[in-house]
Structure 1
Amino acid sequence: MKAAAPTLAEFRATVRDWCRDHVPPDWRRAQTGVPDDEFVRFQKEWFRTLRGPGFAVPHWPKEWGGGMPVAQQVVLYQELAAHDAPRLVLPFVSIHHAASTLLAAGTDAQRERHLPAILDGEIWCQGFSEPGAGSDMAALTTSARKDGDTYVVNGQKLWASGAMHADRCLLLARTDPGAPQRRGISYFLMDMRTPGIEVRPIRQATGESHFCEIFLDDVILPATDLVGPENEGWRVAQETLGAERGMTMLELAERLGNGGFRWLVELCARPGPLGTTPLDDPLVADRLAQFEIELTGLRALCAEFVADDRPGPADASIVKLYYSELLQRMTDFGTEIAGLSAHTQLRKPSSSGWESGAWVLDFIGSWEWTIPGGTSEIQRTIIGERGLGLPYEPRGNR
């Protein structure tokens, strides 16, 4: 007889017990100020630890190591956030963007080759943005010229997170320069060890070098690395961006609503030099109450979004916009309350999220979420046009 599935309460108890036994108790200290190789080692080890009980890729189909019901995924991310578990920072693109692209548009051979490799630790980055084509992704100029059974790629990519550690890259390149912008782009799975690729880390305001430039000089890609039909890469890219604006928000919302809010409350309850606390100010208490209301709405919105089999055309943009701007307001408020002393905290744990409690660094980092994957302005345009049915903006020859 087949065993009955655990209730949500039983599953929550299982996850709690697992977290108590497996979340490294001192990981924040151990991951602060570490060199890149130690960060990479820790991230890969933590991924293997999560993979054991099926917690690494619960959103994947069952045949590929996932299949967890959505209600259980919500519980899982709630408990990981409540127990302050490290984030999967390094495999983020691999398990979300690359996987969603392969599952939606890849061939059987591509899925069979790359999904097991991701589960074994293969790291991916994303090569979409360019110096002249950031939010306007359709304006990209990196070219891929067909040459027999290969494509010869030339160009430059920008803001490629973690590219210095990546084994593969989700690459967009123009294969038909004469076609309208969105109709002449193709999508490739590029091996980062291919000759002609140069990766240069970009030093950020925080002192980190999370983003990179990728220079492509006569890089030869086999035609088997093409995803979807030639010149249909724009459509395939929407699957990638949908992962960034959708499913990943569930985990991020739980982390912001749990640790992020808890640290903000603790900061406001900390006595100052005169013995009073910021929380004694009714305006501060009012702001915290407002944040709690917004966080409750965000978490409910994310849970509803991932549970919906047929989300609306603008739902993912609503979630992304809501999260990114709430994150920015909360970290801005934390920076204001923390005062000048926060400006001396120049390091944060490498495996944390955007709500580490290092307020100035968190606020600077929060701008990442209002720009990549479509700026807040672009999200509002999508919501207006696709969600509310407002007239479309003129787009020229696209």
Structure 2
Amino acid sequence: MTVEREGLEDFRLNVRSWLTQNVPHRWRARMTGASADEFTAFQREWMGKVVSAGLATPHWSAQWPGGGRSLDEQIVIVEEMARADAPRLLLYFVALYHAAMTLMEWGTEEQKARHLPAILNGEIWCQGFSEPNAGSDLASLTTRAVRDGDHYVIDGQKIWSTLGQHADYCLLLVRTDASVPKQAGITFLLMDMKSPGVECRPIRQITGDEEFAEIFLSGVRVPVANRLGEENAGWRIAQTTLNSERGLTIFELSERLSWSRWRLIEAMGGNTGGSIVDDQLRREMVDVFTKIEALSALVKEMMKRLVAGEDTGSSASIVKLLYAQVLREYTALGVRGASTSHLRTPFTLGAGHETGNWWFDYMNSFMWTIAGGSNEIQRNIVSERMLGMPRERAA
């Protein structure tokens, strides 16, 4: 074992020890049937602990607390978080990944100084990209921004904003020029969710959860100083945000899925040794577990290529497609072994997509065929950017 490898193993043991001492006792039971206020308070408390330990921001640059970690160290943290079944920072994942990565690449020094420390102190962010008629075809967005002196005046509507009802700030895409090709007339703004004219309504899903919200914007004034990059350059900047969602976010989710295989074995009536009587079920489980292993390996390889500058980001679309497929197959198997009594079981807020409440998890899995860019759009990206196939004809 090399010295570097020994150091990595020591780091792993330190992370594991901290998690053993700090993961909240029976947190899943506490969050099952919890109110929105209880969930928010719990997430804020856990966020403070993880930030203080330097485990929330290993992907940030070295100048920030906990930042500057190597990719191997980042992998260790994600693996150990999953192994310990630590709560996901669901309320903060847009802030820690989407907002932070976009700000670090495109933000001014003033914007970084304002928002990055605030994120570490618990500032919550949401994403205002999709619209009722601009989801898969995001570039068709119509939310309008008109320049008025040193402000933009915003009118329009956003939808499917994850936990937007709790957010302090929003990553907002707006149309500032309707006379140019649709990707060319989009601007990227940072919007204070407390601004006059902002109305945020939670969306109750088929699961009973309110993980998403729609945002209505009427005469909202956003300072020009809150613009990222140049006017009409928002489409390019948005790719940084979307690649973060399809890459860093799936990185965490794939490890959570990998460490939750025991839940499926248990649901099928087996034990930790994997003793399942039904041959057909056993074959299907092995197939799903093999895909989970392949997903984990593919994500880690993608991350290494991105860090080395050998990937344009298109492989994130393959990873996202595979995760959506595997999650659906995993939860569908769980449903086959679940009791119908689970239909009356309260869901667990912040538990991720593999809670063991199989009916909830299965219905929730459909979200990933759309979130982060629909599967159809991801297939177009793979075919056009990676395989060099002709572009799809416009409707």
Q: Give the TM-score taking structure 1 as reference length.
A: 0.94
SS in 1 for 2:220: strand
> Equivalences for 1:331-370 in 2 at 5 Å?
331-345=331-345, 347-370=346-369
Q: Distance in 1 between matches of 2:219 and 2:275?
A: 58
Aligned to 2:211: 210
2:292 corresponds to 1:291: no
Return the offset for 1:207: 1.3
- Give, in whole Å, the separation in 1 of the partners of 2:122 and 2:190: 16
Structure 1 counterpart of 2:383? 384
Structure 1 equivalent of residue 184 of structure 2: 183
Partners of 1:313 and 1:386 within 8 A in 2: no
Post-superposition offset of 1:341: 3.2
Tell me which moved more, 212-221 or 332-341: 332-341
Q: Show the counterpart of 1:306.
A: 303
Q: What amino acid sits opposite 2:75 in the alignment?
A: V
Aligned length: 387
SS, match of residue 60 in structure 2: coil
CA distance in 1 between counterparts of 2:373 and 2:140 reads 14
SS at match of 2:331: helix
Aligned to 1:192: 193
Distance in 2 between the 1:126 and 1:6 partners?
40
CA distance in 1, matches of 2:204, 2:295: 32
Q: Give the corresponding residue for 2:155.
A: 154
Q: Counterpart of 1:246 in 2: which secondary structure?
A: helix
User: Helix, strand or coil for the counterpart of 1:158?
Assistant: strand
Q: Shift of the alpha carbon at 1:339?
A: 4.4
CA distance in 1: counterparts of 2:289 and 2:132, whole angstroms: 38
Give the Cα–Cα distance (whole angstroms) in 1 for the partners of residues 151 and 60 of structure 2. 31
Conserved? CA contact 1:176–1:185, under 8 Å:
yes
Deviations 1:310-363 (A, max 9, x none): 224421101111111111111111112214333232x22212100111111111
Alignment of 1:85-100 (within 5 A): 85-100=86-101
RMSD after superposition: 1.7
CA–CA distance in structure 2, aligned partners of residues 164 and 312 of structure 1 = 33
SS at match of 2:126: strand
Contact 2:186 2:232 in 1 (8 A): yes
Answer whether contact 1:312 1:387 (CA < 8 A) is retained.
Answer: no
Is the 2:153–2:219 Cα contact (8 Å) retained in structure 1? yes
Instruction: For 2:275 and 2:290, locate their aligned partners in 1 and report how far apart those are by CA, in whole Å.
Output: 19
Partner amino acid, structure 1, of 2:393: P
Which segment drifts farther, 183-192 or 384-393? 384-393
In 1, distance between residues paired with 2:394 and 2:239? 18
82-91 or 305-314: which moved more?
305-314
Q: Distance in 2 between matches of 1:22 and 1:213?
A: 35
CA distance in 2, matches of 1:20, 1:99: 28
Kept in 2: contact 1:135–1:372 (CA 8 A): no
| Structure 1 residues 4 and 325: CA distance shift in structure 2, 3 A | closer
Match of 1:198, SS state, is strand
Q: Which runs of 5+ in 1 are unaligned?
A: 272-276
Listed as ranges, the matches of 1:261-272 within 5 Å are 261-270=261-270
The one-letter amino acid of 2:74's match is: Q
Partner of 2:129: 128
Offset of residue 281 of structure 1: 0.9
Question: Identity rate of aligned residues, in percent?
Answer: 46
Question: By how many angstroms is 1:251 displaced?
Answer: 1.2
Using the size of structure 2 for normalisation, the TM-score is 0.95
